[in-house]
Structure 1
Amino acid sequence: MSIRAQVISTVNEKGIDEMGPNDLIVKYHSVDVRTRSRLIVYSNQKAVVRFQGQITGVFDPGAHDLQTPANPVSQFFARLQYSGNLPWEVEVLYVSTARHEARSEGSTQTKELVPMRYQVAYYFVISDPVKFINSIQFSELKYTVNDFAVFLSPIVDQSVSQVLNMTSLSEIYANLHKVTDAVTASLRSVMDEMGVNLLTCRIVRLEPEDETMRRIIQFTAIGLDPTTAIRARLAEIMAQRSDPAATNMMLGVPYYPINLVIGGAGVLPQIQQIPPSVKPSEKPRERREEE
């Protein structure tokens, strides 16, 4: 049994920092934290020490010495008293205090029941690591930004749907600020309870799920009237299928193929030239002279 003090940090034995840019919490890989251990906290981090499920200290960036009951002597007596199970379980959780970006996306409907797809981006900083750790649950060694976004997705979806369900399709983009305000207010209320400071929030994407509907809206945005925008979308689909009538659809004029004849193109080789008819009363001039 080793009685040497150990160094605790997010840098592993290979010199690689286990806390990446997408990580919010990194748990130290070993729970055998002995007394007089050296705790190293790097910039944009805070270390939270949890002893038997209760948080006992928060450490700022720098080097710190830990005083824990997890030493070789206490471990020896604990194994005798608790049948080999150590009750002195010490956890070191590193919490990132850097600025992070998370995104939540989903689908909702407008007042006319038109399916809409949205994506919301929000930027935040963890201001209270203790409240943040007590507000979430994670079973792995890391808690990432993606996990936090999944946790907040129902709140974002409720805020977006609350506004869009009462707004018509033609008025959505004029009331986009209402969606942003509703999402910001809901996220800020929840994040404040979790010890997270919301910096800003914005709507990254808000568009119909149907591709044709999206293209028609884009055509009307450049000044086309709805009828011309619909013809432009149909012409686009026809052009993708190599249909020669795509240009006529865009211009709104009929399309007459060159080989269009009565009876179809299949009888075209069988058509012969019909000689001009001669009336019975009119005889050729040479034949009358002979008579």
Structure 2
Amino acid sequence: MGIMDFIKGQFIEVIEWLDDKGVLVHRFEAYDNAIKMGAKLVVRESQAAIFVNEGQLADVFGPGTYTLSTQNMPVLTALKSWKYSFNSPFKADVFFVNMTNFTDLKWGTTNPVIMRDADFGMVRIRGFGNYSVKVGDPAIFLKEIFGTKKEFTTDSITGFLKTIIVSSLSDLLGESKIPIADLSSSYDELGVQSTERLQPKFEAIGLKLTSLTIENISLPEDVEKMIDRRSSMNVLGNMDNYMKFQTAEAIRDAANNEGSGGAGLGAGMGAGMAMGQMMGQMFQPNAAANANANAMQQQAQQQQQTQPAVVPSSGDAGIACSNAQCGHLLQPSEKFCVECGSPRAQKRFCTQCGHELSATAKFCSDCGSKA
């Protein structure tokens, strides 16, 4: 083997790149960047190979296998000023560009975006989702973004792309004037419109935005609580009906109070009639329904008036309230009347015979002694 054969053996004869895990651009490793004229260039599907001579972009190769020569390297041949098909070894940087679609890249708002809503006024919103991108023009991407680095991954550019996406999407949301309550039903449409709007910006740096998905647009916690409160009040149609419903609930609870004794029974019957009248007004707002409800209310009042009055007693049912005008029966555990607040009347006994006296008795009904 002569010295020339040894020197020729030092030149690259096969140029290819296999590893592409998350890598957008890879610079081919070659000792002193020396490439043998006539070497094989293997460019696989979803790849592109770019030759750069002394910092100047030369030839671009798509998928296929090439034998490097002056015939299929016209730009580099012109830069090198080769004449008469002179096939000498040459030096050049070779970059492989990954042309596959990079999916599931994340975007999200770092800080809340302020927007104006017709229902809630000025609100702060946050959003996140994912997008897919690929190299559209390897030459432009190499000039605008990559430069002369050894390797370039998606992590090196996702921060820049996220900023572009969030800025454009915020602008789109402000222009669309979609109410916050309706945003969740417009995610697909907003994603398509965002992709169309962002495409020129991506193409300017040699990329192509293939898809953009909005997963969620959220509101501050206090605004979400406000929405929940409004939904609760509107469940029956309007505020008036909501207040009527709350009143009916309160009357029912009072009627079901076991501590009210016999008076609670009468109140419960009245509450039932009143609640029926209010429910009729809520769910039958027409004139005929209102007339029926008024008739039911009058009938309930008549029934209450014809009911026998509850006579207070001191038996097992309870002790009569000390206020004669109240008439409520106190249970053994009650120290004050739950109806009028009067203190519980203390039991009195005859000092001579021990007979129980009423609250107003002046003489014992059993032995006649003075109380």
TM-score (norm. length: structure 1): 0.59
1:109 maps to which of 110, 114, 119: 114
DSSP-derived class of the 2:100 partner: coil
Equivalent in the alignment of 1:10: 17
DSSP-derived class of the 1:10 partner: coil
1:144 maps to which of 153, 169, 186: 153
Equivalent in the alignment of 2:233: 227
Pairing 1:183–2:194 present: yes
Letter in 2 for 1:185: E
Letter in 1 for 2:47: Q
Offset from partner CA, 1:63-88 (integer Å, 9 cap, x none) = 445579xxxxxxxxxxxxxxxxxxx8
DSSP-derived class of the 1:55 partner: strand
Offset from partner CA, 1:113-172 (integer Å, 9 cap, x none) = 311112253334323211121121467533233433322233322222223335353454
Equivalent in the alignment of 2:102: 100
Distance 1:61 1:176, change over 3 A: closer
Distance 1:178 1:159, change over 3 A: farther
Looking at secondary structure, tell me which structure has more helix per residue: 2
Pairing 1:40–2:42 present: yes
Pairing 1:283–2:289 present: no
How many Å apart are 1:284 and its aligned residue?
6.0
Greater relative contact order (Cα 8 A, min sep 6): structure 1 or 2?
1
Distance 1:158 1:182, change over 3 A: farther
- Are 2:131 and 2:213, in contact at CA under 8 Å, matched by a contact in 1? yes
Equivalent in the alignment of 1:58: 60
- Are 1:156 and 1:186, in contact at CA under 8 Å, matched by a contact in 2? no
Offset from partner CA, 1:209-255 (integer Å, 9 cap, x none) = x24544776x69xxx825379xxxxxxxxxxxxxxxxxxx9xx8799
Distance, in Å, in 2 between the alignment partners of 1:275 and 1:131 is: 100
- Are 1:31 and 1:89, in contact at CA under 8 Å, matched by a contact in 2? no
- Are 2:34 and 2:91, in contact at CA under 8 Å, matched by a contact in 1? no
How many Å apart are 1:181 and its aligned residue?
5.2
- Are 1:155 and 1:186, in contact at CA under 8 Å, matched by a contact in 2? no
Distance, in Å, in 2 between the alignment partners of 1:139 and 1:119 is: 33
After superposition, residues 102-251 of structure 1 pair within 5 angstroms as 102-106=105-109, 107-111=112-116, 112-137=121-146, 140-165=149-174, 167=177, 168-170=179-181, 172-173=183-184, 179-180=190-191, 182-208=193-219, 210-211=220-221, 213-214=223-224, 225-227=231-233
How many Å apart are 1:109 and its aligned residue?
1.8
Distance 1:175 1:62, change over 3 A: closer
DSSP-derived class of the 2:134 partner: strand
Aligned residues: 222
TM-score (norm. length: structure 2): 0.48
How many Å apart are 1:48 and its aligned residue?
1.3
- Are 1:160 and 1:182, in contact at CA under 8 Å, matched by a contact in 2? no
Q: Which consecutive unaligned segments of at least 5 residues does structure 1 have?
A: 12-16, 69-87, 230-248, 259-270
DSSP-derived class of the 1:117 partner: strand
Equivalent in the alignment of 1:261: none
How many Å apart are 1:180 and its aligned residue?
3.5
Calculate the aligned-residue CA RMSD, in Å.
4.1
How many Å apart are 1:53 and its aligned residue?
1.0
DSSP-derived class of the 2:164 partner: helix
Distance 1:38 1:109, change over 3 A: same
Offset from partner CA, 1:170-218 (integer Å, 9 cap, x none) = 454566567435522331112233333333333232222x24544776x
